[in-house]
Amino acid sequence: MARPSNTLQRRRQIVDALLSVMGQRGYEGASILAVARRAGLAPGLVHYHFASKQEILLEAIRQLTELFDGRFQALARRAATPRERLRAFVDARLALGEGASPGAVAAWVVIGAEAVRQPEVKAAYQEVIRAQQALLETLVRAHAGEALTARDARHLSSVVLAAIEGAFQLSVSAGDAMPKGYAGVSARPER
């Protein structure tokens, strides 16, 4: 009898290793050898599951997006009002505590930098940002009702998303200079 395939498990293991190494050393420092070592695999096995390091990176974008979406959905299920759903979005991205992943944040910052250098990464990154901005705009409109025009809701959601991405950058590059937990508290709509 044939053994069941462990391809999905291995691919996730490799992506997790890339995210871990990349969060510590950047993309350039995340060689296939370093990723393989972190995953506890032979480099050839990494190449068996992914054609290139960029392919692993693109899969990492997808998996990080799933992580965020899952955290948001879990928090949003408990939300009874539009304000609470908006808070759920902010908390899913910025709040410390259950489901928070500083390593994922560090990797996301590196991915943003790679989006400047690699067109395929830029396209994937922009797709995620567009989807998050659209979701945030919907949440802002639901919270504000008629108080904001569609244009104002779009601009406000863009500013909030830019603040979130900026908080990620600061947490990775100047974390000791910022108060612990400031972003999650500051970006939330008032109670």
What was the pLDDT predicted at 33? 95
| The domain defined by 54-187 carries CATH number 3.40.50.11310 | no
Rounded to whole angstroms, the Cα distance separating 42 from 6 reads: 15
**Average pLDDT value for residue range 15-43:** 94
> CA 189 to CA 169: how far, in whole Å?
22
Question: Which distant-in-sequence residues (6+ apart) come within 8 Å of 41 by Cβ?
Answer: 10, 13, 14, 17
**Average pLDDT rounded to a whole number, residues 24-31:** 92
Q: What is the pLDDT of residue 48?
A: 93
What is the 3 state secondary structure string of 19-46?
A: HHHHHHHCCCCCCHHHHHHHHCCCHHHH
Predicted model pTM: 0.86
In the DSSP assignment, the letter for residue 178 is S
- Segment 109-135, tens digit of pLDDT: 999 999 999 999 999 999 999 999 999
pLDDT digits (tens, 9 = 90+) for 82-118: 999 999 998 888 877 777 788 888 899 999 999 999 9
Length of the chain, in residues: 191
The pLDDT of residue 1 is 59
Element at 117 (helix H, strand E): helix 102-117
